[in-house]
Amino acid sequence: MGNQITTNTRVFALLAAVLLAAAAPSFAQEPPAAAPAAAPANPPAPVAWSSLSPEQQRLLAPVGNQWGSLAPERQQALAHGSERWLGMSPEQRDQARQRFSHWQSLPPEQRRALRDRWQHFQALPPKEQAAVRQNYHRFQQLPPAQRQMLRQQWRNATPEQRREMVQRAREQRMNHMQPHGGQHPPPKRP
């Protein structure tokens, strides 16, 4: 029995690492405020064990006996996670393991906050998710000293200052996205 629990824990840890690896970009920044997502119209469908590939079944074998009693959401998450894991290169798997190890070392309140941010990100419309990802990648391109400075500014800001920072960033993004109506700005004079 103890060995079964250890094996189940390893499988769930492994799949959690995969899901955490996929979530990494959203953890790097505060997502913009959005209205809560509406509940899905149709409940998730269960995943039949027989519909999993032989590789997925091998990976998920420790929970195979309980598969039918798992909630459909859990089955779908495990099936998707195992699919992602099997599609990863050895280097990506190592990175996922490292991220999961880091995740496990975090205090429970920090894990809860990150989980909440991930759920908030998942509730965003696809366009906003893409914007968050784009901002994250742009942030990663900055020199380390500049990233550190921006992080420190964010940490030291009051909630009102943070709202203003987010609003300014949105306005700047919108200004860059809007065409000038076919007109060119006047030339700069020396």
Decide if 161 is inside a domain: no
Decide if 119 is inside a domain: no
Q: CA nearest 131: which of 169, 84, 175?
A: 169
Domain extent at residue 18: 2-29+44-107
Decide if 72 is inside a domain: yes
pLDDT in tens, 106-159: 999 999 999 999 999 999 999 999 988 998 999 899 999 999 999 999 999 999
Which carries the bigger pLDDT value, residue 83 or residue 27? Answer: 83
Decide if 147 is inside a domain: no
Domain tally, the chain: 1
What's the token pair of residue 67? 């598969």
Whether 77 shows a pLDDT value over 90: the answer reads yes
- What are the respective helix, strand and coil percentages of the chain, to the nearest 5? 75, 0, 25
How is 5-74 classified by DSSP, letter by letter? HHHHHHHHHHHHHHHHHHHHHHHTSPPPP-PPPPPPSSPPPP--GGGS-HHHHHHTHHHHTTGGGS-HHH
Is 72 in contact with 44 (CB distance < 8 Å)?
yes
Decide if 99 is inside a domain: yes
Decide if 131 is inside a domain: no
Decide if 83 is inside a domain: yes
Decide if 85 is inside a domain: yes
Q: What is the pTM of this model?
A: 0.51
